[in-house]
Structure 1
Amino acid sequence: MDRYDIAILAELQRDARLSNAELAARIGLSPTPCWRRVKWLEEQGYIKGYRAEIDRHKIGLGVLAFVRVDAERNNAQATRELEDAIRALPEVISCHYISGEGTFELQVMATDLEAYSRWAMDMLFKLPNVKDLHTSFSLGEVKAGGALPLGHLLPGHGGR
């Protein structure tokens, strides 16, 4: 990966709707090599997809909850079943296996506190292998949906 590839990733993180011609102009390449590089980045899995960033408030998702799920860790099959069940819940927008207290940390979206409460009781508590839940609610977003930092990939900046 060279500076052009890094520049492509940076520009597409800012605006994935750029035309190839505009992207090429921004990074200082002609359109054909730029297109080839984008295709290579996609094929190699650096670019996993393209999606719209939607304002959750405008579509009625006023609650963002951070949920620590405590599960029994001594049964690998039960943990895999829990992972599969979590993946199937559209309200869960991210899930991480964590160190320290708890097993998983979820980010969950709901329309309001009452809807979250019903959903937690009807869905989360009924998942396999769940011992306990600990929920914190976002009181306001400072930064969300951010682009990945790429500075470490640049020569002389602590990269390879």
Structure 2
Amino acid sequence: MTKLDRYDLQILAELQADARLTNAELAQRVGLSAAPCWRRVRALEEAGYIKGYHAEIDRHKIGLGVLAFVRVDADKNTGERTREMEEAIRRIPEIVSCHYISGAGTFELQVVTPDLEAFSQLARKVLINLPNVKDLHTSFSLGEVKAGASWPLGHLAR
């Protein structure tokens, strides 16, 4: 699969909005019959455009009321030290997202905990003791304006 056409883009948009659609429902929404639609979905999966299907869970309903953004400053940015830090970060379930960042800092983490006390314990006992950590800088979410896992696709249609 080298280029996405309008059907592929529609399939991606529909599945981002509702991954529980049956193939028949999806086919009807994008204007294809069931068999070609199913083949396109399979091709999008095999080409890596669709990486998986997930349930979106309300973090507040499961008791994760605190969302923190933690900038991690590394002591030294060498290959081995950075790999050690990456591996340690992957093992911490409260870290739900980690990105390399430009500017000040090395990583930006999204961390969830039930409350501020739990975050404090995690920061003082776990995060500051990650390999190669020089410093932590934390900001807390005071409310979500926009959140979701849908990627914009308009640039692909041009």
Q: Distance in 2 between matches of 1:120 and 1:41?
A: 40
**Counterparts of 1:121 and 1:52, CA distance in 2:** 32
Q: 1:144, 1:52 → 2: CA distance? A: 14
CA deviation after TM superposition for structure 1 residue 72, in Å: 2.6
Name the amino acid aligned to 1:78: R
- Is 2:26 the counterpart of 1:23? yes
RMSD (Å) for aligned C-alpha atoms? 0.8
Q: TM-score, normalization: structure 2?
A: 0.96
Q: Deviations over 1:81-108 (max 9, x none)?
A: 0011101111111000000010000000
Aligned to 1:102: 105
Q: What corresponds to 2:126 in structure 1?
A: 123
| Corresponding residue number in structure 2 for 1:154 | 157
The CA deviation at 1:126 is: 1.0
Deviates more, 1:143-152 or 1:12-21: 143-152
Percent identity reads 73
Deviation per residue, 1:50-93 (Å, 9 max, x gap): 00000000000000000000003442101110011101111111
Q: Cα offset for 1:136?
A: 0.2
What stretches of structure 1 of length at least 5 have no aligned partner?
156-160
When normalised by structure 1's length, the TM-score is 0.95
Aligned residues: 155
- Please state whether the residue corresponding to 1:65 is helix, strand or coil: strand
Tell me, which stretches of 5 or more residues in structure 2 are unaligned?
A: none
Q: State the partner residue of 1:62.
A: 65
Report SS of the residue matched to 2:54. coil
What is the rounded CA distance, in whole Å, between the counterparts of 1:82 and 1:31 in structure 2? 46
1:114 to 2:117 alignment: yes
Ranges of 4+ aligned residues in structure 1 off by more than 6 Å: none
Cα distance, 1:64–1:49 mapped onto 2, change above 3 Å = same
Q: Which secondary structure does the structure 1 equivalent of 2:152 belong to?
A: coil
1:132 aligns with 2:131: no
What is the aligned partner in structure 2 of residue 46 from structure 1?
A: 49
What secondary structure is seen at the aligned counterpart in 2 of 1:83?
helix
Q: CA deviation at 1:146?
A: 3.6
CA contact (8 A) 1:72 1:79 kept: no
